[in-house]
A and B are shown apart, each in its own frame.
Chain A
Amino acid sequence: GAVVSQHPSRVICKSGTSVKIECRSLDFQATTMFWYRQFPKQSLMLMATSNEGSKATYEQGVEKDKFLINHASLTLSTLTVTSAHPEDSSFYICSARGQTGVHYGYTFGSGTRLTVV
């Protein structure tokens, strides 16, 4: 089945630094990837939609200059949290949809727990 690999699983960084999270589709090509954020006891909230070769589409209230998304290939999307602050501490998770449309559902990565100190 479709597998999405997300790395790192956990990261602790100092306030003001930047953190990059990678999301890879291992056995299929993902024209579209999605980035979500989940705060404790809350729903997963869609942050942005990442399309290969074009700019990401951000949801209302998500700062595109703070959360930089790059989808340079059909198997890799990256999310960079720039100048991270403690309020950015959260669980970030990516999801991918296949190119052929066979994957009607979405496959999710294992998530990244970001702690900003």
Chain B
Amino acid sequence: KQEVTQIPAALSVPEGENLVLNCSFTDSAIYNLQWFRQDPGKGLTSLLLIQSSQREQTSGRLNASLDKSSGRSTLYIAASQPGDSATYLCAVRAAGGGADGLTFGKGTHLIIQP
């Protein structure tokens, strides 16, 4: 059974710093990996999607990497801003047929101090 772990569980940094969020998964047979942002009491906003054949994806100040063989992904946030404060979730979709809902980590709760 796939398990997704996110480290750290919480992170608080001053505005302007660059930071890295980590995600690991136990089964490397994935179709893709997706990073989401969740604001308190809200739904999920997709940030980046990396297909299993890709190594990284970039969007603005965000860069996500994927090392499928080692079961790891990182989300790099450059020049952090208070508006980046949220919970960041990592989720994987299993490869192959069958049910293909996502398996989520518990998230990293990020606070950017003004």
Q: Indicate if B79 sits at the interface (CB-CB under 8 A).
A: no
Interface string of B81-114 (1 = CB under 8 A from A): 0000000010100000001111111110000000
Within the assembled complex, what's the spacing in Å between the Cα atoms of A9 and B86?
19
The size bracket of the interface on B is 20 to 34
Determine which of A46, A91, A93, A105 lies in contact with B103 in the assembled complex, contact meaning CB atoms within 8 Å.
A46
Q: Could you tell me if B105 and A43 are in contact, using CB atoms closer than 8 angstroms? A: yes
- CB neighbours (8 Å) of A100 from chain B are none
Determine which of B49, B99, B101 lies in contact with A105 in the assembled complex, contact meaning CB atoms within 8 Å.
B49
Q: Indicate if A67 sits at the interface (CB-CB under 8 A).
A: no
Interface string of B24-54 (1 = CB under 8 A from A): 0000000010101000011111100101000
Q: Indicate if B75 sits at the interface (CB-CB under 8 A).
A: no
Q: Could you tell me if B106 and A42 are in contact, using CB atoms closer than 8 angstroms? A: yes
Q: Is the interface of B mostly helix, strand, loop or mixed?
A: strand
- CB neighbours (8 Å) of B36 from chain A are 108
Write 17 A-B pairs (CB below 8 A) sorted by A numbering: A34-B101, A34-B102, A41-B106, A42-B106, A43-B105, A43-B106, A43-B107, A44-B44, A44-B89, A44-B91, A46-B99, A49-B99, A59-B99, A93-B44, A95-B101, A105-B46, A109-B43
Given A110-B43, A111-B42, A104-B49 contact (CB < 8 Å): yes
Chain A residue at minimum C-beta to C-beta distance from B4: A43
The size bracket of the interface on A is 20 to 34
Q: Indicate if A57 sits at the interface (CB-CB under 8 A).
A: yes
Residue with the highest number of chain B CB atoms closer than 10 Å, among A45, A105, A113: A105
Interface string of A1-17 (1 = CB under 8 A from B): 00000100000000000
Chain A residue at minimum C-beta to C-beta distance from B46: A105
- CB neighbours (8 Å) of B45 from chain A are 108
